[in-house]
Amino acid sequence: MDSYLIHVNGHGDHAPMLDVNLKNTGNIISPGKVKSRKPRWAVRASEMSKKTFNPVRAIVDSMKVEPNPKKAMISLSLGDPTVFGNLPTNDEVTRAVKEVLDSGQYNGYAPSVGYQSCREAVATYYNCPEAPLKAQDVILTSGCSQAIELALAVLANPGQNILVPRPGFSLYKTLALSMGIEVKLYNLLPEKAWEIDLEHLESLVDEKTACLIVNNPSNPCGSVFSKSHLQEILAVASRQCLPILADEIYGDMVFADCKYEPIATLSTNVPILSCGGLAKRWLVPGWRMGWILIHDRRDIFGKEVEIEMEHFPEFENDVEFTERLISEQSVFCLPATCFEYPNFFRVVITVPEEMILEACGRIQEFCEMHYQGADGAQDLECDK
Ligand SMILES: *Cc1c(COP(=O)(O)O)cnc(C)c1O
């Protein structure tokens, strides 16, 4: 990034701000003594800002492509369930917030960790015998994003490294790199329903590893880990003495055929910071309400889907694939390069039903047009 050097004196119509006339200041400062160096603006971008990089923006903003004018654009890229009004939050939630506003009692500065009554409410909701929680174990934050940022800041120093899932949510890397923390990507295995490649995970651990990030249920994979897999992950963390940063913002919103287990309920010794929030579960991402649940019984601390994209030799990579999908079908999906997982793309399925059906139809048409199977046959199988 460029740094900025702004010359103030001698340009423009304004009186030069820093060229102060000292003649009338009497004998306090002699004009002769301040002549030596003319101050100049030299506001440079900080090291941190130069290290802050959002891959989604970088990839998406560089996609210069126009949708097919014959088809209305459908965007399956941004995971915001409020865009179409088809997924409103619960009335009770809206009422609760209205009551708080009407009371006029919560317009002041809250304690930096959140109001006690609110921390108690969150603790009561998540408390269970396997993972007991009290109000003091809850830190309220500005969205789950800030929860992750705080947890990272607490767990890792610059020069240390953290273990991050691939494919995975891009915020982990963006935050870590801006803080001077190195990122090591561990693989998720598509053939095992996106479970963690535990051998690969453990092979990445070194003396500088500060924590393991586990995102369950997963964005972008949509996977939900079984109890036994979570126990295997905890066994690695325990063996390597690694605290876990658990991003569990999609907890409590899994389909009926699987069960979500908070990882802290399965741990007896591994310290866990569980990050969550209202955004996804209650469909209110603009409300910026998140939390960290501190699970440290041993006092050790001080909807989305992915589709495979092989057999499309026409396209150099997933960015090109998604660009062509826009220009031909006006369907906008995120290239999974945004999630450190090239050759896939991610679709958001919170758009209204008729829209997702239309989009799926178009994606199918696009795939049938461009697919080249091993024997060149158009034998594409689609799960509808
Ligand atoms: C949306 C999301 C977040 C951030 O949640 P906010 O409360 O909107 O900051 C964190 N992690 C994952 C996996 C997400 O999908």
For residue 359, the CA-to-ligand 1 centroid distance in Å is: 25
| Residue 5, pLDDT score | 36
Q: Which range has the top average pLDDT, 33-42, 69-78, 204-213, 319-328?
A: 204-213
Predicted TM-score of the model (pTM): 0.78
| Residue 259, pLDDT score | 95
pLDDT digits (tens, 9 = 90+) for 228-267: 999 999 999 999 999 999 999 999 899 999 999 999 999 9
For residue 275, the CA-to-ligand 1 centroid distance in Å is: 9
For residue 249, the CA-to-ligand 1 centroid distance in Å is: 6
Helix boundaries (H) for 80-197: 91-103, 116-126, 143-155, 171-178
Both 102 and 142 in one domain: the answer is no
Q: What would the mean pLDDT of 107-130 be, rounded to a whole number?
A: 95
Of 304, 319, 335, which residue sits at a domain end?
304
Residue 183 lies in a domain: yes
Q: What are phi and psi for residue 75, nearest 5 degrees?
A: -100, 120
Residue 123 lies in a domain: yes
d(CA 342, CA 167): 9
Of 304, 320, 342, which residue sits at a domain end?
304
| Residue 20, pLDDT score | 37
CATH number of the domain where residue 120 is located: 3.40.640.10
Tokens of 78: 């941004």
| Residue 310, pLDDT score | 61
**Residue 41: other Cβ atoms inside 10 A:** 12
Q: Which range has the top average pLDDT, 13-17, 145-149, 358-362?
A: 145-149
Q: What is the DSSP letter of 189?
A: E
Query: In 3D, which of 366, 304, 372, 305 has the Cα closest to residue 67?
Result: 366
For residue 279, the CA-to-ligand 1 centroid distance in Å is: 7
Query: Domains in the chain: how many in total?
Result: 2
Both 262 and 279 in one domain: the answer is yes
Of 276, 304, 332, which residue sits at a domain end?
304
Q: Which residues contact 179 (CB under 8 A, 6 or more apart)?
A: 48, 152, 153, 156, 158
**Residue 9: other Cβ atoms inside 10 A:** 14
Are the CB atoms for 170 and 178 separated by under 8 Å? no
Are the CB atoms for 288 and 142 separated by under 8 Å? yes
| Residues whose beta carbon lies within 6 Å of some atom of ligand 1 | 143-145, 169, 215, 219, 247, 249, 277, 279-280, 285, 290
Which ligand 1 atom is nearest residue 79's CA? 1
| Residue 64, pLDDT score | 86
Q: Do the strands 161-166 and 182-189 form a parallel or antiparallel pair, or are they unpaired?
A: parallel
Q: What would the mean pLDDT of 340-362 be, rounded to a whole number?
A: 89
Mutate to test the pocket of ligand 1, among 80, 280, 291, 304 (most ligand atoms within 8 A of CB): 280
**Domain span holding position 189:** 114-304
| Residue 105, pLDDT score | 94
Q: What are phi and psi for residue 293, nearest 5 degrees?
A: -105, 120
Helix H or strand E segment including 357? helix 353-370
Are the CB atoms for 351 and 95 separated by under 8 Å? no
Tokens of 362: 């178009």
Q: 151 pLDDT exceeds 70?
A: yes
